[in-house]
Amino acid sequence: MNIIISNSSDKPIYDQIAEQIKTHIINGDLKEAEMLPSIRNLAKELQISVITTKRAYEELEREGYIVSVPGKGSFVSAKNKELLKEARIRIVEEKLLEAVSTAKTVDISLDELQKMIEILYEEG
């Protein structure tokens, strides 16, 4: 999982972290019930204050993306199933759109495209 922060951005660092983790969760990089790095470890790695990482996790918890268990750590919350599903559907649509427009540029017909999808679906 990559977390890249910008010191010169106007956006507070805790905000940048929370946003990026949210994206990772929606993208599926972080799976349900997966454990997040500890706030101290994250602070050390990114060379920022532990108060910052704490705040980022607090925001994520408030918005329902993660759950913090005292003494154990923070985990991606299961409540996201619906959110995740919707986000994933969006991604599928996006990718299909891409496939459709690319197909059109090389004159692949709708029929041929559908056959390709069938084969791929069965294989994968």
Partner 1 sequence: MTPVLEIKGLRKEFKGFGLKNINISLNSGYIMGFIGPNGAGKSTTIKLIMNLLKKDEGEIRIFGMDNIKDEQEVKNRIGFVLDENYFYEELTVEEMKWVLAPVYKAWDEKTFKKYLKDFQLPPKKKIKELSKGMKMKFSLAIALSHNADLFIMDEPTSGLDPLVRSELLDILSEVIQDENKAVFFSTHITSDLDKIADYITMINQGEIILSMPKDDILNNYGLVKGGKELLDRDIRKSFVAIKENQFGFEGLAKDRKQAKKMFGDKVVIEKPTLEDVMLYYVRGNQNV
Closer residue to partner 1, CB minimum distance, 2 or 6: 6
Q: Which stretch binds partner 1 (CB under 8 A): 2-10, 70-78, 84-92, 105-113?
A: 2-10
64 binds partner 1 (CB under 8 A): no
Rounded Cα distance between 23 and 12, Å, is 17
Q: Which stretch binds partner 1 (CB under 8 A): 20-28, 51-59, 90-98, 109-117?
A: 51-59
Residue 101's beta-bridge partner residues?
Answer: none
55 binds partner 1 (CB under 8 A): yes
* Helix, strand or coil, per DSSP, at residue 75: strand
47 binds partner 1 (CB under 8 A): yes
Closer residue to partner 1, CB minimum distance, 23 or 49: 49
What is the full DSSP assignment across 6-68? Answer: -SSSSS-HHHHHHHHHHHHHHHTSS-TTPBPPPHHHHHHHHT--HHHHHHHHHHHHHTTSEEE
Which residue in 20, 32, 50, 113 binds partner 1 (CB under 8 A)?
A: 50
- Give the pair of three-digit tokens for residue 69: 């268990």
12 binds partner 1 (CB under 8 A): yes
Q: How many angstroms from the chain centroid is the CA of residue 118?
A: 28
Q: List residues near partner 1 by CB under 8 A.
A: 7-8, 10, 12-14, 40-41, 43-44, 47-52, 55
